[in-house]
Structure 1
Amino acid sequence: MTKQERNGIFLLAFIIIAIQFGYYFLDFSSDPIPFNKRDYELYSREIDSLKQIEIELRKKKLYPFNPNYIDDFKGCFLGMSNEEIDRLLAFRKEDQWISSVEQFQQVTKISDSLLGTLAPYFKFPDWITNQKGSTINTNSNPYLIKKEEKIDLNKATAEQLQSIKGIGKVLSERIIKYRNRFPDGFMDLVELNDVYGLSSEVIESIRRKFTVTPSQSIEKVDLNKATLTQLVKIRHISYDLAFSILEERTLRDGFNTLDELIKVRGFPINKLEIIKLYLSLENIKAE
């Protein structure tokens, strides 16, 4: 071995010995962190409180609403079954009105437990709550107008619209502007939900005084035969949504009902009733 190699070996041995001495004789430990039980308990309570707040925020929040205007989306949110929602919608299509908690259960046949949860949030119009008793004969109620006496919303003037409590110049002009966006105007009163600023109470008042006579010139599109071009012409259906509908239709080998559209990725469930106005199912696939 050369002199440099020997010196290198001695230097390495010296470093190893120095490290061993340092390990045994030098104290590298840090000071222990003191445990403050009081601070720990305060911190734990704060964490628990934040968790509880998060749980409360994730819970469904209910606000007062008129049960006469429960739609598919609202009904699902409230925990109603499809059959219960369908019974209510069928009842309303006959121009009949729910006027009490008891009548709501009779019509929908919901369970007592669900009724107990929803009933405190029912908000009926003043002309119902001011009546004596829990039931109202809608045929004799002075606030209800026979269908043949109602004004066609597609021909209504701003002055006629302003006769509704809660509708002023701005809202009447907004309704007419929305109506004029489409050659045939409103297809159904449900489209009033698309007019910004109209509360459920105002829409309810409009329903009592106005009606819509759908144009006979509008041809509904068969959902199971519709092309991309046909779908994108329908209100609330974008190109992306139309592609998703066609994709879902292929996967399902066709739709059985229009309500199956809610299974389409990205479908606006709250616009289902409006979209359904422009669709049909002429040839339903065989089971």
Structure 2
Amino acid sequence: MNVFKSHFRFNKRQRNGIFFLLLIIVIFQTSFFLVDFSSNKPTDFSQNEIADFKKEQDSLINIAIQESKPKIFPFNPNYINDFKGYQLGMNVDEIDRLITFRKSGKFINSIKQFKIVTKVSDSLLNKISPYFKFPDWVTNNNNTSNISFKKIRKEDIEVKDLNLVTSSDLIKIKGIGEKTAERILSYRDKLQGFTFSDQLYEVYYLEKEIADKALEYYKVLLKPNIQKININTASFKEVLSIVYIDYELTKKIFNYRDEVAEIQSLDELKKIDGFPIEKFNRITLYLVAE
């Protein structure tokens, strides 16, 4: 019992401290209920300030609305599909007219022709036509002449080796402009020359039907002399530089080489897990096992 009472025994100094603490708590609690801390002083805004604030608010709202709208990037209207057409605001009939026109093998080469074929409204045409991007040969032809484009006949183009054609030769093909011709020549350089005519289909952003047309006039007549790399002594960087080999495949090749010490035949590459068998003939154009 004496132990219990000892917790509640205070000397005079301690009792004074407790008294003042309780007094401070009572004063703060009383002040909280009796004193009004809110400010009733009205904020004085001039009419000009209110107008400026509203103008800025409207501006921010408009920006938010514009940013929320789907963004449209330049595109070739010849390749509008159902989904793209719906996004642009075209109805089913307008999209069907365009698709039927394209299936006939024809191309739309102007905004006016797009209007005639699809029969879209003027309001929709004015909205989407600024984003139309026609091939270079169409743009150049429209800028230099009012005469409609005349197709180049096969007899007008000299059949050449695909490895010897120049940019001026390539742009004779309908659908190939200067930029596309540059991409073809650049890819040819990376390959050290085309070995197979169908390697033309591997050029970025070259549509198949345009490549088909080009191959009617230009084919691989003389295969290039490709500088081969010894797979057993080549560096990682040298193997990775081959067009048809990516980083992951290069690692797998080097891991396999480390396991077997020496690759006796390139056919061994087919044993590597994940090796692209369909690219074997192209990859081995650049390799030799010695």
Q: TM-score, normalised by structure 1?
A: 0.43
Q: TM-score, normalised by structure 2?
A: 0.43
Larger Rg: 2
